[in-house]
Amino acid sequence: VCFDEFHFMNDPDRGTVWEESVISCPRSVRILALSATMGNVHDIKGWITSIHGPTELVLSEHRPVPLRYFFAMKQGLFPLFRDPNAGPGALQGVPKQDGNLAPGANINPTLTKLEDQFVRGGQAAKNVAASRAAGADTKGNFRGAFKGGGPSVQSLIPTYGTISEELLSLKKLPAIVFIFSRAGCEQAAKSITQGKLKLLTADEDEYVKNAVNAFVIANPDIPVAKGSIQMLRAGVGVHHAGLISVWKAFIEDLFNANKIKILFATETLAAGVNMPARTTVISTVTKRINSEVVKLKTSQLLQMAGRAGRRGKDTEGTVVIMRNRFEDVKMSHKILTSPTDGIKSHFKTSYGLCVKLLETKSLNDCKELIERGFGAYLLQKRAAKKMKENVVNNVEQHRKILQKYTLAGAREYLKLLRRMEKEKKNYEFLVSKMLKSEYELVQAIAEYMPVGIGIQLQNYEVGFFLGDVNWRSGTSFDGYGVITKEGQVLLARKEHIRSFADTEDCIPPKTAQTLLELVSLCNEWEEVAIENCQTPLLVGAYPPNEVFNDVKIQNALDTLSSRDPFPSPPQSPGSIIKQKSILKSMEEQLKKHPISLAVEEGEGERVIDALRYASTLKDPVAFANEKTKKLTSGEEDAYAGGEIFAWKMFQNVYQILQKFEALKGTNATDLGEMVGSLSSDNELWLALVLRHPSVQTLNAAEFGAVICSVVVDGYKAGNAFFKDPPSATIKSVLKELEPVQWELQSEQTDALIDFPVHLSVDAAGMVESWVRGTSWRELCKETSLDQGDICRMLRRTVEALRQIPNAYGVPPNVAQLSYEAAQRMDRFPVADFAEVLGSDPSLAAAAVDGDVKKSTAGLGFEFGGTAQSADGFDSDVEESERNLLLQQFLDEDEENEFQSGDSEDLLASDGVNQRVDDLNAFLDSIQSDDNENDDPFSAAITRSVSAADLKAKKRKEQQIRRESEALEVDDDMDSKENDSILEDMEALLFEVEEDGGLGSYIDEETEGYEGYEEIEDDSGGVR
């Protein structure tokens, strides 16, 4: 068994599948695990050795196309390392000397000098603060500090346009630019498209134009934005999870054909998609995860960097890391030179796995199997190391501590401590969000605020707003004048302002204008650094004599003493106030805890150390309860050896299955058998839903919508717009499922199990609409979700629906509902054409070679008579596989006829043969225009158009049948009249096609058929 990209075992969601596969492999099966970004390879080797026998580790740092690293600034591209050939995957690698980085692996001095020139803003403020703290005189005339000073950080930040121009001039294209947001990718691509940069030649532009036209003809149901086509015509592309798969495949084909020169993509492109480029550009080395901004792991950065360099085309791959406002070259250098992060165990025991294991194994056998996991191996290894490192007396000290405060008390204290840290982070997050909102508001309204209004600065100093201050000629200004209640004059910028008071809390505008004259009287200014501000606040000093002699200014200053800039301090949002009260409550709980006294006495750290030690033991409770004993040197504690979370989780899953009566002892009930035969994120939840009485009364559309609600994460749907809400029946059923959801969620929370228990109503209406036959184009109009998200949700639903009829104990009516819903949902583009290829191995080879004739023949387009051996199916292909392929090209009625056994007559029928003849003629017309038979992209376009043409014809016929079935025909109308109606509709429909072509027909379809109308006859029927 070959495991490519073995580091996927580190994925929190998918990693458990990899680990379970390794554990389950018999010892007789050889395993080959491949990875280019895996740190703890010796641990992996030791683990596989422990469960499979002797294992060899093959290490190689050779890279067929070496990398070269650059750091991008506004001034240009510079080698990131002192030695241009240093870096991970480069010719010299990351050289070490005496355990440290060798000189060649250090940062390029040119970059360091450029960074050092950043003397303005934060660094300048720190210097001033440090000088003042040292007692130095920082007073002086600092008028130039605000304007015309040294370079700022903004002068170091490159744009995507400047980098694109540089790469084009250096002949470093095509390039993939990694940006960690969909909106960021779209915005960056748009900026390049609207620029003057010319990336494509005239021939390449013509190629892209024809390719796009072919795609639109081949996929008439897929909405393609005009902006996306403009991007492609400019040689720019976008690739992210919000795009539908057929369009992403089209983008990948264009990129591999070198017709997209710059591709903006999210990090999903770095894994699993074979799209190497000459250059990769990494826009940032941090990413936002939920509410936190975290640094990229070394393996993540190297995974993206590794896309650079095309084997057989490039002599080296170029990796460019961009400077931005918050990330300098030091951060990028540190990540690149750090050891690759190691693999961790993410093994989870699902409900289905637990049931299946207990079918054939005892609890002891299950424990033995679970303890073959990677987590158990690492824990046992760590415990053995601790036993060697720990002095025997320390072990006994841990035991005494836990006996003094009890194991339960220590656990409770640690739990409170961790929750306290979490709540603090939540509070800090809320405060940062509030500050950000206030900052954005100030940025928007500062220029429009009336003079004289109360103002609060970032250092919480308050005063009155005096308006713009102009130091030089022209309309530009250095900042805003501010005066405190005590008469202190300040010169501030937008970034220094925290908030404004209410408009009624003002001094008169004339008074403010008079006080503004004090700014020009100031002859000395002092810089004051303010945290998180790039420029210092200026504090002015004016001669007292000049002010004392000016009655007008003196009267204005006297006015200040009777005014308060902020009569009522700004109130914090309710969420922050609530979070503060939670923190206060947590602090009180911690103070009351017995171990808090131990913390004051200096024992708190020892309690935590003891608890950590106990957590590595097989039985912490027995260890803590045993009487203190002396161990001789070298003797191991009887309880050491590696209890693992995976086994605890198995026990918790086992107990929940018993609580919900899916297991009696270790034997599965009917519910348990159903759980064991399902596969989802939470098999127990899905089984409980399928057995619920309210679900069994639904129709197919409603059933599909409910299944989507319980198997698909509703996060994206919860933030999206949907035109059509779910029906009242669906809402009622989901309401009835809420108590079941709450009960299961509560049990899981108590057992520290985090399997999702979805119940999202948001997307149910969209799924219901799709099951009822709404076209893809119309479906996309009804929601703000990206096409990729819609398709992914529908596919997850179809996957769940497909397995339900085969699950144990599913009621027949529920199985039928599931089958019907899956059949109606599984249509293009939810059912990719790639799925039609079946299992014929010749098709994959034909696709790679660009052999369109062989590819289409392998699908059995020539159904009738004689073509099924030479140009059709291979003689050794099983009859069942051939039939499965043939079914893909039949409509619903034909498929029923096929399944009933009348396949021979059906495949020789005029309707099917005509469809095949039309398709073959269509193929011939495309192939006759194709002068580049060796171009795999042209072959891919041909295959795509061929498939879509066939599917379009099939969909049209199905649409005709649906419309004809919808006609309300009198009971006494004979079959000839029915046939006449159908023939009239077919004739009109194909007239539309002949007039405007396939694309025109689809466009008219979105507006409704215009080729016929409903006419009420004398008897009240509708024709």
Q: Quick: pLDDT tens for 103-135.
A: 888 999 998 888 877 643 344 434 433 443 343
Instruction: State the pLDDT at residue 927.
Output: 46
Residue 1016 gets which letter from DSSP? B
In 272-328, which residue ranges form alpha helices assigned H by DSSP? 298-305
Confidence of residue 612 (pLDDT cuts 50, 70, 90): low
Residue 829 preceded by cis peptide, ω within 30: yes
Return d(Cα 100, Cα 93) in angstroms, integer.
14
In whole angstroms, give the CA distance from residue 633 to residue 957.
84
pLDDT attached to residue 128: 39
Question: Coil, strand, or helix at residue 498?
Answer: strand
Collect all residues with Cβ–Cβ distance below 8 Å to 991 and sequence separation of at least 6.
Answer: 1011
218-270 per-position pLDDT tens digit: 888 888 888 899 999 999 999 998 899 899 989 999 998 999 999 999 887 76
Residue 572, pLDDT score? 67
DSSP 9: G
Number of H helices, E strands in the chain: 42, 23
- What pLDDT was estimated at residue 474? 45
Which range of 72-76, 623-627, 642-646, 1015-1019 scores highest in mean pLDDT? It is 72-76
Residue 690 CB coordination number (10 Å):
24
C-alpha closest to that of 259 among 300, 204, 218? 204
Q: How many other C-beta atoms lie within 10 A of the C-beta of residue 604?
A: 16
Q: Does an H or E element contain 319, and which? A: strand 317-322
Q: What is the number of residues in the chain?
A: 1023
Residues contacting residue 486 through CB under 8 Å, at least 6 positions apart: 560
pLDDT 10s digits, 699-739: 999 999 999 999 988 766 667 788 888 899 999 999 999 99
Average pLDDT of the residues in 79-83: 93
Query: How many CB atoms are located within 10 Å of the residue 861 CB?
Result: 20
Angle at 554 between CA 552 and CA 560, to 5 degrees: 110
- For 910-941, the three-class secondary structure string (H helix, E strand, C coil) is HHHHHHHHHHHHHHHHHHHHCCCCCCHHHHHH
Question: Which residues have C-beta within 8 Å of that of residue 619, sequence separation ≥ 6?
Answer: 639, 643
Instruction: Return the DSSP state at 433.
Output: H
For residue 616, what pLDDT band results from cuts at 50, 70 and 90?
A: low
Residues 222, 832 contacting (CB under 8 angstroms): no
Least Cα distance to 639 among 661, 614, 611, 668 occurs for: 614
Q: Which helix H or strand E contains 552, and what residues bound it? A: helix 551-560
Q: Measured in whole angstroms, how far is the alpha carbon of residue 476 from the centre of its chain?
A: 43
Count other Cβ atoms within 10 Å, centred on residue 218.
Answer: 24
